[in-house]
Amino acid sequence: MPALPSHDVADLSAAPLGKARIEWAERSMPVLRAIRGRFEAEKPLEGHTVAACLHVTTETANLMRTLRAGGADVTLVASNPLSTQDDTAAALVSEYGISTYAIRGEDNETYYGHIDAALDLQPTITMDDGCDLVNRLHTQRPEQAAQVLAGTEETTTGVIRLRAMERANALRYPIIAVNDTPTKHLFDNRYGTGQSTLDGIIRATNLLLAGRTVVVAGFGYCGRGVASRAKGLGADVVVTEINPIRGLEAAMEGYRVMTMEEAAPQGDVFITVTGNTSILRQEHFEAMKDGAVICNSGHFDVEIDIASLEKIADDRREVRPNAEEFVLTDGRRIVLLASGRLVNLGAAEGHPASVMDMSFADQSLAAQWLARNHEGLEARVYDLAVDLDAEVARLKLESMGKTIDSLTAEQEHYLASYDIGT
């Protein structure tokens, strides 16, 4: 048996189950499969070491296989302490020989220890989800930044942090904001987060959502998906926003729009998905109904002010896996799901594979593009090239057996002219 790659995972004996689940996800990832086939032949990532800090799920495992097929030396670490699927991590190590450092429920020290382990391998490309790896590299190991050629970022929160670094002249190498590409955020953030967030809530609580009031904080790409799926299940959906355009859009979509102060006494289930901090606070907990369920699907566990909930609670206990009940002094109970971390990854399995197919096709093509083109780039945040994005959408449509029209010569001429009017 070949020697195992370097790793720190919970239990290698879970590998067969992980492998079966990785193969199951692969069935719904036709675009990534096609890219993997091409990578196997062309080896566009040969000579590169990729440090990937992503949610350790079956879909991510298929991305790692694709990068390795492209010739890269790959290490995967968790981008969230609670999102790791331990069987997937085990399979990556013992079935696929991919160096992996991730244990579900790891403490902060282990989490950063794992990121350090990936950085110890001197990556030439970083692949991040939330910017923790890039931040660690820039703040704790600035001397190492010079040997990183380029990177990619998967999520909204990570891109916000990177743009802040760019503005402060603190970014040391170019990074592609994969999140900002339409085939990522229009599908992953909306349909992926929409379905999987409700999946997480239902798995954690087994609540019937029909007839209940669901409060969605934030009507961005993720919030739109969450609100529409909750409405589809028969919930009375309330949206809170700070952006007037998005608040107006939510109102036009038929949702009740109000402040969190107004929503707090009305909601049965609260979902934060803003990418911002302290959305649910003490004054809101104090106004909530007995049995209110609160959870977060934004990137970091800062959207619910858990410290203030702990402060006003007399007692707390786990009522179901991933559901912790806080009992307030007057006897009211508030149920926090997945410790306030991403509920779709903590209490369910994250996005379905067919949506990650596109996000990870974008990641693979971004890595290939960077391997070829990094030399001409500055230390800035870049968008993925439009033609790569269109290619991913085309391959996805093809895999769904759908075709679209092409412009006729007359239409092309019409769209390019300015003298044809009434």
Within 19-58, which residues bind ligand NAD (CB under 6 A)?
none
Q: Which residues have C-beta within 8 Å of that of residue 388, sequence separation ≥ 6?
A: 181, 362, 365, 366, 369
Do the Cβ atoms of 214 and 267 come closer than 8 Å?
Answer: yes
Note whether 361 binds ligand NAD by CB under 6 A.
no
Among 26, 241, 305, 349, binds ligand NAD (CB under 6 A): 241
- 86 or 129: whose CB is closer to ligand NAD? 129
CB crowding 400-414: b at 16 or more within 10 Å, else e: eeeeeeeeeeeeeee
- Count of chain residues binding ligand NAD (CB under 6 A): 28
SS3 category, 207? coil
Answer yes or no whether residue 304 interacts with ligand NAD by CB under 6 A.
no
Residues 319-348 that bind ligand NAD (CB under 6 A): 342, 344
Binder to ligand NAD among 218, 267, 340, 346 (CB under 6 A)? 218
CA torsion, ordered 357, 359, 363, 368, to nearest 10 deg = 60
- Residue 130 Cβ vs ligand NAD, minimum distance, rounded to whole Å: 7
**Quick one: which of 94, 195, 274, 354 contacts ligand NAD (CB under 6 A)?**
274
| Residue 197 to residue 255: CA distance in whole angstroms | 18
The CB-of-129 to ligand NAD minimum distance in angstroms stands at: 8
d(CA 67, CA 44): 9
**CA distances in angstroms from 252 to 212, 214, 215, 271, listed in the order given:** 21, 18, 17, 20
Select the residue interacting with ligand NAD from 124, 297, 363, 364 (CB under 6 A).
297
CB of 68 to ligand NAD, least distance (A): 24
- Name which of residues 138 to 167 contact ligand NAD (CB under 6 A): 155-157
DSSP string, 151-188: EEE-SHHHHHHHHHHHHTT---S-EEEGGGSHHHIIII
- Interacting span for ligand NAD (CB under 6 A) from 107-115, 218-226, 249-257, 280-288: 218-226
| Binding region for ligand NAD (CB under 6 A) | 155-157, 185, 189, 193, 217-223, 240-243, 246, 273-276, 279, 297-299, 342, 344
